[in-house]
Amino acid sequence: DTEVTQTPKHLVMGMTNKKSLKCEQHMGHRAMYWYKQKAKKPPELMFVYSYEKLSINESVPSRFSPECPNSSLLNLHLHALQPEDSALYLCASSQVAAGVLTGANVLTFGAGSRLTVL
């Protein structure tokens, strides 16, 4: 299995809702990532988990709360979002948990979750 699976594919939520995005990989990768992508822009890194511990938080607002229950799963909990948070949220994973993207330690991306905040 060489895939990163993200659910749901589409999510519409109000500003007072609480929802979660889920990501799963079964490649034995020990680093997992959340990226945010706005239309016609490159992805922007949000969080990095290494061996199920948060190693990078790119100063993301607390209304986004990541969770890594085990080495295969990554969640992004959403609460009190703003309309400007509407975007494509991409999950990725890589082999090496040290985090340095060298050699063959490349990112494998999921198909993304399209979030619309009303």
Partner 1 sequence: KQEVTQIPAALSVPEGENLVLNCSFTDSAIYNLQWFRQDPGKGLTSLLLIQSSQREQTSGRLNASLDKSSGRSTLYIAASQPGDSATYLCAVPETSGSRLTFGEGTQLTVNP
Among 12, 15, 54, 106, the residue binding partner 1 under the rule CB under 8 A is: 106
Least Å distance between CB 16 and partner 1? 26
Q: Which residues, including other chains, have CB under 8 Å from residue 3's CB and lie 6 or more apart?
A: 25, 26, 27, 108, 110
Counting contacts by CB under 8 A, is residue 90 touching partner 1? yes
Least Å distance between CB 49 and partner 1? 10
CB 93 within 8 A of CB 108: yes
Residues in the interface with partner 1 (CB under 8 A) total 30
Q: Give the DSSP per-residue string, 11-58.
A: EEE-TT-EEEEEEEE-S---EEEEEEE-TTS--EEEEEEETTEEEEE-
Counting contacts by CB under 8 A, is residue 30 touching partner 1? no
Among 11, 68, 112, 115, the residue binding partner 1 under the rule CB under 8 A is: 112
Least Å distance between CB 74 and partner 1? 14
Phi, psi (deg, nearest 5) at residue 9? -75, -35
Binding interface with partner 1 (CB under 8 A): 4, 6, 31, 33, 40-43, 45, 48, 50, 55-56, 88, 90, 92, 99-104, 106-112, 114
